Amino acid sequence: MSRRRIIAVIVVILIALAVVAAFFGYDIYQRSVREYKLATHPLKYSEYVEKYAEEYGIDKYIIYAFIKTESGFDPNAVSSVGSRGLMQLMETSFDWVKFRLGDGDEVTYDDMFDPETNIRYGAYMVSFLIKYFGCTDTAAAAYFSGIGEVDGWVSDPDCSADGIHIDNYPSKNAAHYVNKINNALGTYYELYVPSYNG
């Protein structure tokens, strides 16, 4: 075999090895990304999430997306403004939900550190907001900014063309929050809903 032919064979072998390495490297990368997403988007507290998702007629992955975004699944989380627990309810929100659920004095704001009570209250609130506004994105904006604030946005033609969806957010923080909820929800669907195709 001539020297030129040997070099050509070596080049072909090296190219084939590079292609195989690239393929397996990409496969390893993809598996690593999936494992990272599974670790950061778990299905913790599933017994409570599924229970209250069914009770309040809400997609369980929406609840998971809120918990992931709000507290990263830390039941003892407290925000800089005093929101508590997995779904980070403020005391005013807690009082509002407590009244709507008809709970008595035995339930206190300290119970927001209890995972089941927090998920029950948070799921109720998210479900109410979705029904009230007719749109998950707008509900997420209201969860972050307050019902009254978002009522003003959807009634303003400069913010909402159809009175349901927010086209132009007056608050960058609210827009960022809604984006985070959507990203978390998309990841949950990608990981756990086989028929989901983005």
Instruction: State how far the Cα of 101 lies from the Cα of 171, in Å rounded to an integer.
Output: 31
Residue-level pLDDT at 149: 96
Full-model pTM? 0.84
Residue 137's nearest CA partner among 172, 88, 170, 179 is: 179
Single-letter amino acid code for the residue at 111: D
Residue-level pLDDT at 190: 92
Residue 85, strand partner residues: none
Residue-range domain boundaries for the chain: 1-40, 46-192
Single-letter amino acid code for the residue at 123: A
CATH code, 46-192: 1.10.530.10
More confident residue, 164 or 19: 164
Residue 89, strand partner residues: 84
pLDDT digits (tens, 9 = 90+) for 19-73: 545 555 656 666 777 888 989 999 999 999 999 999 999 999 999 999 999 999 9
Residue-level pLDDT at 15: 66
Phi/psi at 89 (nearest 5 deg)? Answer: -85, 135
